Amino acid sequence: MHHHLSLFSLATSCLVVLTAGVPLMPGEPIPNEPRAPQICRNPPKRLEWRQMSQSQQKSYIDAVMCLTMTESKSGIARAINRFDDHQAVHSVQTPNIHWVVSIPFIRPLVDHLGYLRTFANTLQGHFILWHRYLVATYETALREECGYEGGQPYWDWSLDANPHEPNSMAAFSTDVLGPGRYSFGGNGDFVAPTPEQNPLNLTGGTGGGCVRDGAFTPDRFRVNYGPDPGCLKRDFTPWVLNSFADPARVQEVLDQPDYASFARTIEKVPTFDAPNIHGGGHFGVGGVLGTIGNAENSPGDPLFYLHHGNLDRVLWMWQQKDPETRLNQVGGPVVPMDYGGQNVTLDFTVNLGELAGDATLKQLLDTQSGVLCYTY
């Protein structure tokens, strides 16, 4: 059974918002009440997948499977279970839904680049902090609803990328993407994409079909949400992973002097000519046809949370270099790529629909603010 928002509860939450005086952006979904302040005690420590013991890896995979067997509560149509919920919230919060319809100059840009459609809250100042909140909310669901006791793992792809051998498949042959029952599995069978499926003309894909090994094979796991329900798909694209996940690209991000430039360098510009660490995990693993490279629905691949977990760790490491400043600083455009336009501020509010309370960017800067509670 699905949960549905009644008109009454919509009206009630709207009333709460108006009473609280929170400004509503045009086209924004109706916010929830802010999460009650909590104190962060015993923050779980997030580990690289290969730092975890086999039993820790098993308990993580078991908890993800548990989410897929727990009833949805996002209220989003076609989200069947709690795993789907997080994918669905990512999917509905795309820039085209939020902004493009009402901002004419962005429309031709999006239609031309295609890429902008690809990721929720992308190329905006709040991109990395919105994703921090999504990953942390998923981690909380694993812990509170599925008995997982650890932190959200991450995949440090910079350990595996080899920029000097762009065609090497070695980065895909580690224990992260291994074939074992408690690994994330490998490539899909080769499928040649049609031109319509590949508007950005990404070359070098080696897969495209269903994942045949690891924990998320078709007999155990199904992508329910999005335009392509069915098996989990991968389309390993080695040149993208090897160049985009290059340790030098990570260092370039860590060397940025302020939040706005940090945020911009993580994503760069929407083209494959500009290697950027965000695109590395998505297009290196997902290519043209893989789930994690797909449109709004990249969180349909459980590996999404390890990829974004690592991006979040890069943010955390950058913040640790100057916490006094960097736990109190945001920037970057409200509108995708609108550099020079309105910037996000510390009290800019983001939401995850019904999955969690609304949060300000200030609350999301600190991984132990109480709204968040984890460490690396």
CB of 364 to Cu ion, least distance (A): 16
Closer residue to Cu ion (CB): 81 or 298: 298
Closer residue to Cu ion (CB): 312 or 338: 312
CB of 249 to Cu ion, least distance (A): 15
Closer residue to Cu ion (CB): 277 or 289: 277
CB of 209 to Cu ion, least distance (A): 22
Closer residue to Cu ion (CB): 75 or 280: 280
Query: What does the alpha-carbon distance between residue 78 and residue 224 come to, in Å, rounded to a whole number?
Result: 7
Closest chain position to Cu ion (CB): 119
Crossing angle between the packed helical segments 54-68 and 127-146, to the nearest 10 degrees? 90
Closer residue to Cu ion (CB): 34 or 280: 280
CB of 120 to Cu ion, least distance (A): 8
Pick out residues in 267-296 that bind Cu ion (CB under 5 A).
none
CB of 282 to Cu ion, least distance (A): 6
Count interface residues toward Cu ion (CB under 5 A). Answer: 1
C-alpha distances in Å from residue 44, one per residue of 139, 143, 208, 249, 327: 10, 10, 35, 28, 19
Pick out residues in 111-140 that bind Cu ion (CB under 5 A).
119
CB of 307 to Cu ion, least distance (A): 7
Closer residue to Cu ion (CB): 118 or 369: 118
Return the closest-CA partner of residue 173 out of 213, 124, 142, 218: 213
Residues that bind Cu ion (CB under 5 A): 119
